[in-house]
């Protein structure tokens, strides 16, 4: 009852914005949010996806698969969640798409959601297109804005163009770029928890193991501060200068393709069109000229700093603060003064 009243209030509040939406039906949106969780915690990207789903204005039901009751209870408390479905079988705990996709498709057939949302993470990217194929729907990847119930904004060409797309499918399957939406509040909700319908297991794949990098530094894709090195670092050993500065600032370390191709650091650190896309609060580019492939991966950062001895380097055109200096002096000096 309380949830219903809240929903009506929400709808009234959104009436002005809804009028420019391409309405798909009198009842509005009814969304399933596929929750990603690991080690008993909801991943941040799920909370961003919840915010995106809430912009549709309708009800949000969250699916917690994998048998973690604590996660289901935490999700039920998130602001904007009306209901939580739990698929208790531990078979879902590794997010294997061969099992997850039939589960989501089965739930969809029972509840007839208008929208299926998830974060555009390694898990969301892996599972949601498979769900879409089972339901014969064209999914919309990596959205950065919700324009209406069937209209979404997404970057193409690694962020060098922004497309507004309209889906003609009856079900909208969407993955959400985490950095484009605020995280939903983890408190304030009061969703009911109920069991999801059973789905047959495919048993096509076996999960062998994982190697999670145990670094004290934050994950590159989600870090609020990132320090990247380029060809100007000259060799792999010199990256220690960046690690020292990163540790002082609680930053992740990245690299340009030139630094990766030259063998200074591992591929997994590459920021850019074919590497990782990051949008931290602070991005410090050290010894990076600023080729378009690199800019594609970091130009949505809030504040960009460039340290480069070539005053004409293109990176200075996008940098909020540019320091024209020898990095081998400037970086240790910064580390010392912080």
Which SS3 state, helix, strand or coil, does residue 39 take? coil
The token duo for 184 is 């939903």
Q: Would you say 151 is a known binding-site residue? A: no
Q: Provide the token pair at 143.
A: 């959205």
Report DSSP state, residue 176: E
**For 332, which DSSP code?**
H
Q: How far is the CB of 199 from other proteins (least distance, A)?
A: 14
| Residue 273 known to bind ligand | yes
In the complex, what is the shortest distance from the CB of residue 117 to other proteins, in angstroms, rounded to a whole number?
A: 15
Whose Cβ is closer to other proteins: residue 35's or residue 76's? 35
Choice between 157 and 192, CB closer to other proteins: 157
289 annotated to a ligand binding site: yes
- Are 32 and 113 in contact, with CB atoms under 8 Å apart? yes
Residue with Cβ nearer other proteins (76 or 307)? 307
Residue 30 or 293 having the CB closest to other proteins: 293
Handedness of CA 236, 240, 246, 250 (dihedral sign): positive
Ligand-binding annotation for 231, yes or no, is yes
Q: In angstroms, what is the minimal distance from the CB of 315 to other proteins?
A: 9
Minimum Å gap between C-beta 59 and other proteins is: 25
Neighbouring CB atoms inside 10 A of 282's CB total: 17
Question: Is residue 288 part of an annotated ligand binding site?
Answer: yes
- Which lies closer to other proteins via its Cβ, residue 7 or residue 125? 125
Q: CA geometry: angle at 131 spanning 135 and 267, to 5°?
A: 145
User: Whole-number minimum distance, CB 6 to other proteins, in Å?
Assistant: 32
C-alpha neighbours within 13 Å on the C-beta side of residue 48: 21
Output 1 or 337, the one with its CB closest to other proteins.
Answer: 337
Q: Residue 293 CB, nearest distance to other proteins (Å)?
A: 6
Determine the 3-state secondary structure of 127 from DSSP: helix
**Has 272 been labeled as part of a binding site?**
yes
Q: Alpha-carbon distance 326 to 61, whole Å?
A: 54
Retrieve residue 330's tokens.
């400037």
- Asked whether residue 159 is marked as a ligand-binding residue, the answer is no
Q: Torsion angle, CA of 259/262/264/268, rounded to 10 degrees? A: 60
Please report, in range form, the residues annotated as the binding site for FAD.
231, 256-257, 270-274, 287-294, 308
Residues tagged in the binding site annotation: 231, 256-257, 270-274, 287-294, 308
């Amino acid at each position: 009852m309380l949830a219903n009243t809240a929903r009506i209030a929400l709808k009234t509040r959104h009436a002005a914005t809804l009028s420019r939406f391409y309405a798909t039906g009198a009842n509005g949106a009814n969304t399933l949010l596929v929750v990603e969780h690991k080690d008993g915690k909801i991943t941040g990207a799920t909370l961003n996806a919840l915010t995106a789903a809430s912009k549709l204005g309708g009800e949000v039901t969250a699916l917690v698969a994998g048998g973690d009751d604590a996660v289901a209870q935490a999700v039920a408390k998130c602001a904007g969640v009306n209901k939580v479905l739990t698929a208790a079988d531990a078979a879902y705990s590794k997010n294997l798409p061969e099992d997850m996709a039939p589960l989501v498709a089965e739930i969809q057939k029972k509840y007839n959601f208008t929208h299926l949302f998830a974060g555009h993470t390694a898990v969301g990217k892996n599972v949601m297109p498979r769900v879409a194929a089972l339901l014969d729907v064209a999914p919309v990847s990596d959205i950065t804005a919700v324009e209406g119930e069937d209209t979404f904004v997404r970057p193409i060409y690694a962020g060098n163009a922004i497309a507004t797309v309209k889906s003609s499918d009856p079900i909208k399957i969407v993955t959400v770029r985490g950095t484009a939406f605020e995280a939903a509040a983890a408190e304030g909700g009061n969703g009911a928890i109920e069991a999801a319908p059973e789905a047959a297991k495919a048993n096509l794949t076996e999960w062998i193991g994982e190697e999670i990098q145990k670094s004290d530094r934050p994950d590159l894709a989600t870090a609020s501060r990132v320090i990247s090195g380029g060809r100007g670092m000259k060799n792999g050993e010199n990256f220690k200068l960046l690690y020292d500065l990163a540790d002082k600032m609680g930053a992740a370390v990245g690299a340009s393709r030139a630094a990766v191709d030259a063998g200074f650091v591992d591929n997994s650190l590459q920021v850019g069109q074919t590497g990782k896309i990051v949008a931290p609060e602070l991005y410090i580019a050290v010894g990076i000229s600023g080729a378009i492939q690199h800019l594609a991966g970091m130009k949505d950062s809030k504040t960009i700093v460039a340290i480069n001895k070539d005053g004409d380097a293109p990176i200075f055109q996008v940098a909020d603060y540019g320091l024209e200096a020898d990095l081998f002096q400037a970086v240790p000096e910064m580390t010392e003064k912080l």
